[in-house]
Structure 1
């Protein structure tokens, strides 16, 4: 009963935080970090802890799957080179840099523990990248690189974490064996994710018109991918990402319009709740974490956290600029590789829920003993998330303004308008100019796909209207409502 009351309490807090986020136009991850921090210092809050393995299994697969399924495979493939550089090489370089500074700076912080911390804080977060850059008018390829990086880097970091935790337990690390294991784990995860994704695609094809079952299956997919891959000692994270990308690629073939609408609503709610639970959970554990760290002064803890944060930020900036300048003289997209866009990519490295969930998933014990300095790793992770997500994230719009980067006008709007015009004209042709008479059933059947397209594209146009154009947005909303009302009445008469 106590746990049920705690869940209701957390849900209430999350709904309140979402209300505040919408009112002040703040990205959800930023507000959740601040909310979790505030909750940690409210007297009398219950202390809640979950089994680390449960945290890892429940939270990570759906979060990563949702990010992958919302990523365009075409865009991801077109930017695979910069994505790979950031998601693999930069992650390992950041892990190494954080490990060196942590080992040198923190007394009693062994090399394996230093690499554990480095692996946890090295990957930027996909949800954070999407939430913070939304509505800033960034170049489409810049957004693709940031989101694609955040998908793949989690796998790199979590594989590095696996080896680091093993080194904590054994006290040894053999580089060449780790390299072979890394390749095997990566290849296995990609293959298994592809197989699971292919199987689910075929299942979805057979239930095309049942949106409830299709949506339920999308909720099941990430857990199946993850568990099957882990069973075969492969990367569960890469399996989830692979299956998500594959299903996203075939989404137009396997999901009806109603299913896409239902999926969007269910997954938006689920991801917000999962993100919120993680940050509220760390907030409720902060008092206990700080008690465990009583041997450190507040100044020491703050210094350690800020130095680790500075290292993660500095390494990314140096790496991104070095990689961009080294590509000069080659055939590259000059629009993406201007120094202004490079600066935006370098500054967009917010850590988020994946790092926090990974830190919470550190085992409580290892070799029948308490995991050394686990509370310190949790505290430092939270500080890095706060600095990179809140300070960097909220300063990103200011940086874009200072650089004078104008909002990128995508050709997507032109394509969307053309498709909307084509669908509307088709409906008009069926109603008024069709060469022979259709019975009512046939007419409804041939018009329905085009009505679905007009609904979908009209809603997308509403979402892409400039936020400042309130009157135009209001008028368009009212007009679309009237059009849909007419369409429903028309179909009801058929």
Structure 2
């Protein structure tokens, strides 16, 4: 126990030093953590806690997803709901299809393995992209599009992964009717559990005036919805996102007051911002260490380069054709915004949580793990480092983009 506590305190101390240094060097904080984690792993200077699927799935993801959904305003989201849902749902399905087909035909992967990898790699990670946007002061419609699409396609990818894994473990013998039932159960169950927790938190918070109790109730909503949904093999990601959206978008009226006290409302966002900051600090440092320690020499560089090229092409297919559908509507997405949606489609915690949870009997499991870590490392370091200059070149940094009006109805 004391060793674990020492490791946690050591990780937090390193993360805070990286945060202060990154601010001085104008380096994205999350990328600095990945680089430092890699250096620590290479040097062997400090033993970090292992990066496990349990740590990622049950401790890291709930606060990150809840904080992101808590701050997503429905009144803003509904103006762009059509393109956001198209990108998050249809785009994720399209990306998965492109990756799976390419892996089967170009790299001779088994269908089951291709589907599993395609599902887990098709979601962009709101953790990395939101942290980068906050660091660089990106506001306005672009931030809404990227944050909401990446948050919702996490839920879509988690559902597709569950279906692909069930297909793989069944040896490809699942019928279409069974797959449809699994889809309805996973989505419906996750959404219902999340909604139940969201409204339960609101009702329970009305019975107290203690702001600490109110914050504790929201923590129960975030983690409880995730754990209960996973217990019933539904989508924990969708459950937590649904709970966060309901709690974050509840607004008092003349007939009914706020379910939070004034102090509780004041602390709510700060508390979850802090929780997400701690989760970010831990996960990106451990990602860097795990990426550096992975035995990439087991496969040719052509394997990694090929899979990376496929995932980037699939992301382009999930963005550009769908954006073209709205080119003559009030939801038009500019060329600059489309490029940011493509190149800013970073991978991170969710992909790693899913890949580390793969049972050993999944075909090509070890290869899937290695190529996933390679794609995540490239995404965070290369795409993440180049995003600030890209945003600056396209004019999305600072006041210029903040004042950009939303397309008129």
Question: Where do 5+ consecutive residues of structure 1 fail to align?
Answer: 413-494
Higher RCO (CA < 8 A, seq sep 6+): 2
Instruction: Report the Cα offset of residue 17 of structure 1.
Output: 1.7
**Residues 101-125 of structure 1: per-residue CA shift (max 9 Å, x gap):** 3345557x42222222222211111
Please give the alpha-carbon distance, in whole angstroms, between the structure 2 residues aligned to 1:231 and 1:171. 24
Aligned to 1:337: 333
Correspondence 1:448-459 to 2 at 5 A: none
Aligned to 1:263: 268
2:135 equivalent to 1:99: no
Residue pair 1:306, 1:383 contacting (<8 A) in 2 also: no
Instruction: Report the Cα offset of residue 349 of structure 1.
Output: 0.9
Closer, same or farther in 2 for the Cα pair 1:402/1:283, shift >3 Å? Answer: closer
Aligned to 2:283: 278
**Residues 22-44 of structure 1: per-residue CA shift (max 9 Å, x gap):** 22233332222223332331236
Aligned to 1:474: none
Q: Indicate the RMSD between aligned Cα atoms, in angstroms.
A: 2.8
Question: Where do 5+ consecutive residues of structure 2 fail to align?
Answer: 253-257
Aligned to 1:145: 145
Closer, same or farther in 2 for the Cα pair 1:28/1:187, shift >3 Å? Answer: same
Correspondence 1:90-489 to 2 at 5 A: 90-104=91-105, 106=107, 109-134=109-134, 140-172=140-172, 173-207=174-208, 209-250=209-250, 253-286=258-291, 289-290=294-295, 294-296=297-299, 300=300, 302-329=301-328, 331-333=329-331, 336-363=332-359, 365-366=360-361, 372-404=363-395, 407-410=400-403
Please give the alpha-carbon distance, in whole angstroms, between the structure 1 residues aligned to 2:402 and 2:275. 31
Instruction: Report the Cα offset of residue 295 of structure 1.
Output: 3.6
Please give the alpha-carbon distance, in whole angstroms, between the structure 2 residues aligned to 1:81 and 1:244. 21
Q: Secondary structure in 1 aligned to 2:84? A: helix
**Residues 379-409 of structure 1: per-residue CA shift (max 9 Å, x gap):** 3222222322332233233233434557234
Aligned to 2:255: none
Q: Secondary structure in 2 aligned to 1:62? A: helix
Please give the alpha-carbon distance, in whole angstroms, between the structure 2 residues aligned to 1:20 and 1:47. 20
Residue pair 2:201, 2:221 contacting (<8 A) in 1 also: yes
Q: Secondary structure in 2 aligned to 1:381? A: helix
Q: Secondary structure in 1 aligned to 2:58? A: helix
Q: Secondary structure in 2 aligned to 1:71? A: coil
Closer, same or farther in 2 for the Cα pair 1:161/1:337, shift >3 Å? Answer: closer
> How many equivalent residue pairs?
396
Aligned to 1:452: none
Residue pair 2:194, 2:239 contacting (<8 A) in 1 also: yes
